[in-house]
Amino acid sequence: MTGKAHLTIGIAATVAASKHFKININLASLTVCSIASVFPDIDHPKSLINKYILPVKNKSVKLTIYLSLGIFIIALNMFYFNYTYLNVIGISLILIGVSTHREGVIHSLNGLFIFSITFAYTSKRLGYSGYSIPFFIGYISHIIADMFTNRGVPLFYPFIKKKIKMPLTFRVGSWQGKIVEGLIMASCLTYITFELPYILSSL
C-alpha cells in the first residue's frame, strides 16, 4: 500500500479515535500519527520515510546506515551519557537496519509494542507526553491496512513467521488494487473533510 494511503488512513483513524478516547487533536498529535502511520515501511529502502533519510535507496545502504547509527548511539551513550532511552533508540535503529520489508519485526505486533513503548518512553524522557496513543493508532492502522493486501504481514514474528492476512485482500500495484486504494483514500479524505470543523476547533 502506498505511503499516501497509509497517511490518510492513520489521520482518519486518529480523528475517529479521539471521539472515544482521551486524545488531544492538535498539530503535534496529527504529525505524530502521520509519521507513525508510514513508519512501519521504514523496513523498505524505497518507502516514503526513507526517501528523506537514505542517500541511496537500496537494501545494503539501509542496513549500513541504520546499523552503524544504532551502534554509534549505543557506543556514544556507553562512554559519555549512560541514558537508558539512548540505548533503546540505538536498539530500535539496529532492528530497523536488519529487518527486511514485511519479513521482520517491524510489521508485527511485537514491532508495534516495541516501537510504541520506545516512542512513549523517549518522548516522556524528553518532556513530551500525550502523543503515545496517536503514535500507537498510526502504527496499528498501518499493520491492519497491510493485512488487507495479498502479501499479508508476519503478525506474530518472530514466534510465527507465517504471513497473516484478511479473508478479502487486494494486490498492491494491480489495477484493482489501485482502485481499492483510491477508494480508501477518498473515503478517509471525505471523513477528514467532514470532521474539519471539529479538527479545526480542537487545534
Q: How many residues bind Zn ion (CB under 5 A)?
A: 3
- The SS3 call for residue 38 is helix
> Measured from the CB atom, is 28 or 158 closer to Zn ion?
158
Stretch of 19-27, 77-85, 109-117, 146-154 contacting Zn ion, by CB under 5 A: 146-154
Contact call for residues 157 and 100 (beta carbons, < 8 A): no
Q: What does residue 149 show for φ and ψ, rounded to 5 degrees?
A: -100, 160
Give buried/exposed letters for 147-169 (b at 16+ CB in 10 A, else e).
bbbebbbbbebeeeeebbbeeeb
Site string for Zn ion, 35-74 (x = CB under 5 A): -----xx---------------------------------
CA dihedral 153, 124, 29, 156 (to 10 degrees): 10
**CB closer to Zn ion, 9 vs 94:** 9
Q: Residue from 34, 39, 97, 146 that binds Zn ion (CB under 5 A)?
A: 146
Residues 6+ apart with CB under 8 A from 47: 3, 38, 41
Q: Which three cell numbers stand for residue 120?
A: 512513549
In the complex, the smallest distance separating the C-beta of residue 145 from Zn ion, rounded to whole angstroms, is 8
Please tell me whether residue 181 binds Zn ion under the rule CB under 5 A: no
Cβ of residue 78: shortest distance to Zn ion, in angstroms? 33
Smallest distance, Zn ion to C-beta of residue 141, A = 11
Binding site for Zn ion (CB under 5 A): 40-41, 146
